[in-house]
Amino acid sequence: MKYKGRFGDYGGFYVPEVLIPALEELEEAFYRFHEDEGFVAELAQLFRDYAGRPSPLYHAKRFSEHVGFKVYLKREDLLHGGAHKVNNTLGQGLLARHMGKTRLIAETGAGQHGLATAMIGALFGMQTKIFMGVTDVERQSVNVHKMRLCGAEVIGVEGGTGTLKDAINDALRYWTAHVGDTFYLFGTAGGPHPYPVIVKHFQSCIGTEARRQCLDQIGRLPDMVVACVGGGSNAIGIFSGFMDDRDVRLVGVEAGGEGLSTGRHAATLVAGQVGILHGAKVYLLQDEHGQVCDTESISAGLDYPGVGPEHCWLKDTGRAEYAAADDEDVLDAFELLTRTEGILPALESSHALAYICSLKGKLGPEQVVVVNLSGRGDKDVSIVESHRPVQQ
């Protein structure tokens, strides 16, 4: 490998030897193409015409009235596929095509990354396999159906708790045996180097746009930028635009599940300890023997015991802060945005909104908070209904 892929001591590429050549090939291709004029132009056109970029920055006035400060939503939920995931799948998909790969594989939790990969598989005419835990297949059946409609094969993974972690395990195993013609389209800003760098690169459009939109629409930078964190791709994407603006607070919100004290959560940065999982040294939810813990969250997309290495480093350096939101507060925030703005947020993004709600009374009326509304909540309607039946 050309680079170490470290953020402080975090990251790296802790993988079996058999995967090293594939990661080397990927790293070499990424650095060859990511600033190549033709590649950049093609991706920019796809971002605009296929995905629907730039996404709007929307002043959610009625929601703002409720919390007592100005809340702006970065509307990644309006992108094709319904989430920010398409930024990364277009970027990596294009990279795969430039590398001459004919097959795509991906892991998925909520199904958003799986769907965004299946879309790109269809777009580029590549054979696509999506690895998805059986628990997630069940609770995100709409996305599973959409993936299959796009022509992807969805492989239900039985191991562990049948969630994102297990899907990554099996995708890595499959890749090990098919490294020649297969591109592993990794969905989050985690995993072995070079994925954290690649995913951040393709998601950085969120932050670049959001910063420019703040200056254009508000005339100043926000006081705070908030995003949910599972692996952390949407968060690193929006944070990247404000990293050098030291007065802008960056806050990542993890899944507090049934509450941190219950142990049934996925708040890796808040409650984890440093370890090695899926190729990277990161904060990790693990037991005293080093076995990785099962996680719990209402949102499949955040149900993961690890996190991207750059977030670990941002936490340690203090440049970003991390908090957790419990399932109940997340549902409250989901309902509040839906009732006040007519926007159904994904349960993942609702974690960021729940944190915003917790700031009620703590920020002044002129203060500005930008929330990355990373996805839309259509996929979550039945989950919300099962927890909070609508009273007519």
Partner 1 sequence: MKTYSEVFSGLRSQKRAAMIPFFVIGDPDFDVSLAVVETAIDAGADVLELGIPFSDPIADGPTIQRADIRAMNAGMNVGRALEFIRKVKAYRDIPIGLLMYYNLVSRYGASRFFSDFHQAGVNSVLVADLSIDDADEIVAPAASAGLDTVFMVTPNTAADRIGLIASRTTGFIYTVSVLGVTGSRESLSDAVEGLVGRLKQLTDVPVCVGFGISKPEHAAAVAEAGADGVIIGSKIVSLIENNLNDEEKMLADISTFLTEVKAAIGNAAHPRG
Catalytic position from the list 107, 209, 254, 296? 107
Q: Is 279 helix (H, G, I), strand (E, B) or coil?
A: strand
The answer to the question of residue 244 lying near partner 1 (CB under 8 A) is no
CA–CA distance, 136 with 63 (Å, rounded to integer) = 31
CB of 157 to partner 1, least distance (A): 11
Residues 296 and 258 sit within 8 Å (Cβ to Cβ):
yes
Contact string 292-311 vs partner 1 (x = CB under 8 A): x-------------------
Q: Does 129 bind partner 1 (CB under 8 A)?
A: no
Tell me how far apart the alpha carbons of residues 258 and 354 are, in angstroms, rounded to a whole number: 14
Q: Closest distance between partner 1 and the C-beta of residue 168, in Å?
A: 8
Q: Find the binder of partner 1 among 37, 100, 220, 291 (CB under 8 A).
A: 291
From candidates 165, 211, 315, 351, binder to partner 1 by CB under 8 A: 165
Stretch that binds partner 1, among 8-16, 223-231, 321-329, 349-357 (CB under 8 A): 8-16
Choosing from 99, 123, 155, 276, the residue that interacts with partner 1 (CB under 8 A) is: 276
Q: Is residue 243 within the footprint of partner 1 (CB under 8 A)?
A: no
12 binds partner 1 (CB under 8 A): yes
Specify whether 61 is catalytic.
no
Position 21 contacts partner 1 (CB under 8 A):
yes
Give the interface segment with partner 1, choosing from 167-175, 206-214, 319-327, 343-351 (CB under 8 A).
167-175
For residue 29, give every residue at least 6 positions away whose Cβ sits within 8 Å of its Cβ, in sequence order, or none.
95, 98, 99
For residue 29, what are its two tokens? 């291709």
Angular region, 160: left φ>0, alpha ψ -120 to 50, beta rest? left
Q: Which residues contact 252 (CB under 8 A, 6 or more apart)?
A: 226, 227, 228, 229, 232, 235, 239, 269, 311, 314, 320, 321, 322, 323
27 is catalytic: no
Helices 309-317 and 195-217, packing angle to 10 deg: 60
Residue 277 sits in the site that holds partner 1 (CB under 8 A): yes
Q: Pick the catalytic residue from 70, 85, 165, 379.
A: 85
CB nearer to partner 1: give 159 or 263. Answer: 159
The 10 Å CB-count burial string (b at 16+, else e) for 302-326 is bbbbbbbbbbbbbbbeeebbbbbbb
Alpha carbon 180 to its chain's center: 27
Q: Smallest distance, Å, CB 293 to partner 1?
A: 8
107 flagged as catalytic: yes
- Given candidates 2, 3, 8, 18, which one binds partner 1 under the rule CB under 8 A? 18
Residue (of 362, 337, 360) closest to 347 by Cα position? 337
How many helices (H) and strands (E) the chain has is answered by 15, 14
- How many residues lie near partner 1 (CB under 8 A)? 35
Task: Give the residues lining the site for partner 1 (CB under 8 A).
Answer: 1, 12-18, 20-21, 159-160, 165, 169, 172-173, 176-180, 274-279, 281, 284, 286, 288-292
Catalytic residue numbers read: 85, 107, 374
